[in-house]
Chains A and B, each alone.
Chain A
Amino acid sequence: MDIDTLVRGLVNGSLYALVAVSFNILYRPTNVFNFAQGELVMLGAMVFASASTLMGLPWIGALAVALVAVGILGLIEERIAVAPVLAKSQHNTGWVITTLAVSLIISNLVGRVWGPDPIMVEPPPLLSTQTLDWTGIQINSYQIALIIVTFVMVLAIERVYRTRHGKAVLATAEDREAALLRGIDPAKLSRWSFFLGGAFAGLTGVLAAPILYASTALGPSLLLKGFAAAAVGSIGNNRGALIAGYLIGLTEAIGASVLSPGYQEAVIFVLVLTLLLLKPHGLFGRPFTRTV
């Protein structure tokens, strides 16, 4: 493997890992796997692009707008598409269809508002997407920053689970009823998790935009690779998601030098599926499911 392939794999892998972590944030207290997550990432990129290029906000300001906007959308999704379904029964899987519906609505609304053309997004000040030839390695400062930020974010999320609220989320995932009897309000945790998971997805979109451009096409592909990273890394396991994200990113980068893009996805799909058939709970874990 040459260094260029490695860089490309790590950069894309970082994005997949971030999407996977955002899945996990929602999944832990609710056992819901949000089918609209890819569109939340996409929306983050679009809002950021508009806020920075059209409204002329500084990078950090546009970032804040994107995070809050997507976080609130996540919260709205929880209120209208997830909570009502789970209120009927905790084991109702109707949310598969309702979150899918939300994904259709977001992706089509965004398509109406922003149109189909990709928007170019500048990286934050001091960083650049201009590739440097650095001792023979083709890399740019934004790529380096992205990989570092990914590590920092995953570690930060892990820290959150060490706080009392974080422990309460884990407790709810493990035994919802016992959590209720200890004064934990799962409904509130679920709302918070959708807000934070949404904001995290928005952040992923903002980070992805300078590399992949902001466009409606961002949603489906990140949804699938993010899901693959979450599943391979064991659902709910953030470190697993990080490693799996890189595994998938690297596999894809290596494949790209051999195969055309369409086949690439097919090969990854077959690899992930085979792995899940052999190890249904992913590489890193025991099943992270709630006791009935």
Chain B
Amino acid sequence: MADKLLSVETVDVGYGHVGVIENLSLAVPKGAVVALVGRNGAGKSTLLRAVSGLLTPSKGRIVFDGRDIGRAKPHAIVDAGLLHVAEGRRLFRSQTVDDNLELGAYGTSLSKADFAGRVERVHELFPILKEKRHDLAGALSGGQQQMLAIAQAMMRDPKLLMLDEPSLGLSPLLVDQVFAAILSLRGSGTTILLVEQLVERALEIADAAYVMQNGRVIANGPAAEIAKSEALKTAYMAV
């Protein structure tokens, strides 16, 4: 594929002596939504952490937008347009919603007007953030925090958005809201790599999917096919 935005090529990643990911390859085409599924401990979050520069792969290459980012610092990767919304809504809880959005644009040279434009855009996407703009991020509900986390990443107008378990610990109603938000991002052409434990929902909105087990990809292909595959059931229910 010529228009691969992100390509992970035969990487090994681990913590200290402990290897988590072995010889893993994965590609995210421009404009697509790619789901990455697999049981807990399969290595999905570890992969995202390696892509965003929090971990350094011991082997292989990670190419984003034509640049090898395998050894780049996290902030350089963010500057290149790759945003990672980490698991567990990692916000700055003691700062206000507005401050969190402003920090989303930290280090960009946006003009005042452009900045205001971005804020307006995320307010359109998540009206609740406008309503609660002066509240502390830590005082928001779980779903609102997730939206703020995504909105914070959107402040940079990312080329690629990586979402790690956006539905984690949310009630079904809030899950619906978060997925609606992802759909609307998809509609606006943002490329998304989605890690999600609600496999069915993830595969519904994804174009392609990868199934991980024990640090490897055991299946990949169009999302609709993966949804029906044996590999998916193996990954979730069996050893």
Contacts and interface: CB of A to CB of B under 8 A. Distances in A.
Direct interface between A and B, CB < 8 A? yes
Interface of A: 164, 167-168, 170-171, 174-175, 177-185
Nearest to B91: A178
A185 B102 contact: no
Interface string B75-103: 10011000111100011111100010011
Contact of B86 (A170, A171, A177, A185): A177
A171 B92 contact: yes
Contacts of A168: 103, 106
A87 to B, nearest CB: 13
> Closest 8 CB pairs between A and B?
A183-B78, A178-B90, A180-B74, A185-B75, A171-B92, A183-B107, A183-B75, A181-B84
11 contacts: A167-B95, A175-B91, A177-B90, A178-B86, A180-B54, A180-B74, A182-B152, A182-B153, A183-B74, A183-B107, A183-B156
Q: Is the interface of A mostly helix, strand, loop or mixed?
A: helix
B103 A182 contact: yes
A185 B103 contact: no
A180 B105 CA distance: 13
Given A167-B99, A177-B86, A182 B93 contact: no
A184 B103 CA distance: 8
B38 interface: no
B67 interface: no
A175 B90 CA distance: 8
B46 to A, nearest CB: 14
B168 to A, nearest CB: 15
Question: On chain B, which size bracket covers the interface?
Answer: 20 to 34
Contacts of A164: 102-103, 105-106
B73 interface: yes
A136 B106 CA distance: 54
A184 B102 CA distance: 12
Nearest to A171: B92
A168 B105 CA distance: 10
Contacts of B105: 164
A184 B75 contact: yes
Contacts of A185: 73, 75, 107
A169 to B, nearest CB: 11
B192 to A, nearest CB: 16
Contact of A171 (B52, B73, B83, B95): B95
Contacts of B107: 183-185
A174 B93 contact: yes
Contacts of B86: 177-178, 181
A175 B100 CA distance: 12
B74 A181 contact: yes
A178 B53 CA distance: 12
Contacts of B90: 175, 177-178, 181
B92 A181 contact: no
Contacts of A174: 92-95
A197 B161 CA distance: 36
Contacts of A181: 52, 54, 74, 78, 83-86, 90
A183 B93 contact: no
Contacts of B106: 164, 167-168, 182-184
Given A164-B106, A174-B95, A185-B75, 20 more contacts: A164-B103, A167-B102, A168-B106, A171-B92, A171-B103, A177-B86, A178-B90, A178-B92, A179-B92, A181-B74, A181-B85, A181-B86, A181-B90, A182-B106, A182-B152, A182-B153, A183-B75, A183-B78, A184-B107, A185-B107
Nearest to B85: A181
A185 B103 CA distance: 12
B98 to A, nearest CB: 10
Contacts of B94: 170, 174
A184 B79 CA distance: 10
Contacts of B108: 183
B104 interface: yes
Contacts of A167: 92, 95, 99, 102-103, 106
